[in-house]
């Protein structure tokens, strides 16, 4: 009798669950989302949430974005909030910074960060330093975003990684997402941050799909800037990377696993402030460290990580 009752109960539950599914459509679950779409979602949600947020850059409006990251936004928000600019980086970056000073929350897109060199004075001297120089009177809540680093055969002038360049400067936060969740959570955090944030995307990652948890799909999903993520646990060697190179590290880890070497892969997520603690903790465990990046080695991100580890309090304990 008890078993019959429980069968009926579970049967009833199963039936009602089926009914529920039919009434409510898609069941809540993880979905596959490309980095591009994740960025698009983040932009859309933040534009909707705060009237002061707006996007400006070359081809962001009517072209739907040079890499289609801002697809559909101009149609939805119009000329006032999605602004196409002439090809004048120094000018429009300065205009974006000025707008931020006057109370708006601009997102300034560089078609690639190579072109940000034209405007780098505005990013560093006008945006990054102002909060300090004004003793806190004048915040600059701006996000500079765009693809960074190597792409597919675009030649030397279009392939530079600027993580080390911007990572050097106090007053800036520098973020470098890898996955779709990273892209969405970190871009939303960057837009809500009152500091100038340099958001380094990667063109080759735009089309890559990732599983996005239900939590990540929500409109309030934020990831903290300044915290790295362990993408793969391991005991033998620590691989530290950011952006596209995280994929490379995971691929390498898969190959090495066949030889019995278990890699711990750390996705930095943020370049500045650097999550040195996460890296130190990992190195204490594995005693081996390799940094993998798309930028040049001299004076680079990896060089800084190595310096920090070697200068860290735990370095000699490793031995």
Partner 1 sequence: IYRMMQTIRRMELKADQLYKQKIIRGFCHLYDGQEACAVGIETGINLSDHLITAYRAHGYTLTRGGTVREIMAELTGRRGGIAKGKGGSMHMYTKHFYGGNGIVGAQVPLGAGVALACKYLGNNEICVCLYGDGAANQGQIFETYNMASLWKLPCIFICENNKYGMGTSVERASTSTHYFKKGDFIPGLRMDGMDVLCVREATKFAAEHCRSGKGPILMELQTYRYHGHSMSDPGISYRTREEIQEVRSKSDPISMLKDRMLSNNMASVEELKEIDVEVRKEIEEAAQFATTDPEPPLEDLCN
- Binding stretches for partner 1 (CB under 8 A): 54, 80, 83, 85-86, 88, 90-104, 106, 121-122, 125-126, 130, 132-135, 137-138
Min. distance of Cβ 269 from partner 1 in angstroms? 25
- Closest approach, Cβ 62 to partner 1, in A, equals 15
Rg (C-alpha) for the chain, rounded Å, is 22
* Residue placing its CB nearer to partner 1 in the complex, 90 or 204: 90
- Closest to partner 1 by CB, 97 or 161: 97
Q: How far is the CB of 313 from partner 1 (least distance, A)?
A: 20
- Reported as half-sphere exposure (CB side, CA atoms, 13 A), residue 21 has a value of 10
The answer to whether 150 and 294 are in contact (CB under 8 A) is yes
Strand ordering across the sheet containing 53-57: 82-84, 53-57, 105-109, 143-147, 197-201, 173-175, 270-272
Task: Give the pair of three-digit tokens for residue 57.
Answer: 């850059």
Give the residues across from 271 on adjacent strands.
Answer: none
**Closest distance between partner 1 and the C-beta of residue 111, in Å?**
16
**Neighbour tally for 277: CB within 10 Å:** 11
Alpha carbon distance 176, 112 (integer Å):
14
Q: Active site residue: 45, 46, 58, 89, which one?
A: 89
Is-catalytic flag, 89?
yes
Name the residue nearer to partner 1 (CB basis): 92 or 210: 92
Considering the complex, state which of residue 83 and residue 183 has its C-beta at the smaller distance from partner 1: 83
Q: Do the bridges between strand 173-175 and strand 197-201 make them parallel or antiparallel, or are there none, so unpaired?
A: parallel
242 flagged as catalytic? no
**Residues identified as active-site:** 89, 158
């Amino acid at each position: 009798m008890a078993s019959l009752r429980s069968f009926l109960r579970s049967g009833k539950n199963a039936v009602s669950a089926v009914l529920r599914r039919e009434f409510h459509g898609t069941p809540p679950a993880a979905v596959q989302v490309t980095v591009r779409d994740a960025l698009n979602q983040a932009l859309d949600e933040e534009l909707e949430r705060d009237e002061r947020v707006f996007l400006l850059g070359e081809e962001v409006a009517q072209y739907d974005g040079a890499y289609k990251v801002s697809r559909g936004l101009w149609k939805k928000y119009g000329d006032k909030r999605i602004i196409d600019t002439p090809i004048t980086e120094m000018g429009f970056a300065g205009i974006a910074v000025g707008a931020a000073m006057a109370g708006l929350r601009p997102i300034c897109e560089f078609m690639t960060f190579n072109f940000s060199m034209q405007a780098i004075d505005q990013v560093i001297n006008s945006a990054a330093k102002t909060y300090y120089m004004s003793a806190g009177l004048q915040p600059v809540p701006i996000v500079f975003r765009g693809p960074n680093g190597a792409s597919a055969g675009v030649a030397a002038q279009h392939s530079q990684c600027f993580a080390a360049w911007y990572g050097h400067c106090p007053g800036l936060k520098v973020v470098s997402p890898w996955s779709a969740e990273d892209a969405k959570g970190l871009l939303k955090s960057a837009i809500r941050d009152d500091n100038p944030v340099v958001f380094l995307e990667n063109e080759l990652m735009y089309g890559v799909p990732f599983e996005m948890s239900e939590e990540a799909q929500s409109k309030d999903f934020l990831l903290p800037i300044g915290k790295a993520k362990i993408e793969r646990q391991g005991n033998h060697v620590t691989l530290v990377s950011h952006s596209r190179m995280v994929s490379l590290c995971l691929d390498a880890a898969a190959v090495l696993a066949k030889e019995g070497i278990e890699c711990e892969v750390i996705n930095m997520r943020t370049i500045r402030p650097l999550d040195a603690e996460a890296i130190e903790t990992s190195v204490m465990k594995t005693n081996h460290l390799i940094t993998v990046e798309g930028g040049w080695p001299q004076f680079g991100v990896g060089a800084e990580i190595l310096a920090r580890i070697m200068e860290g309090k735990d370095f000699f304990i490793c031995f």
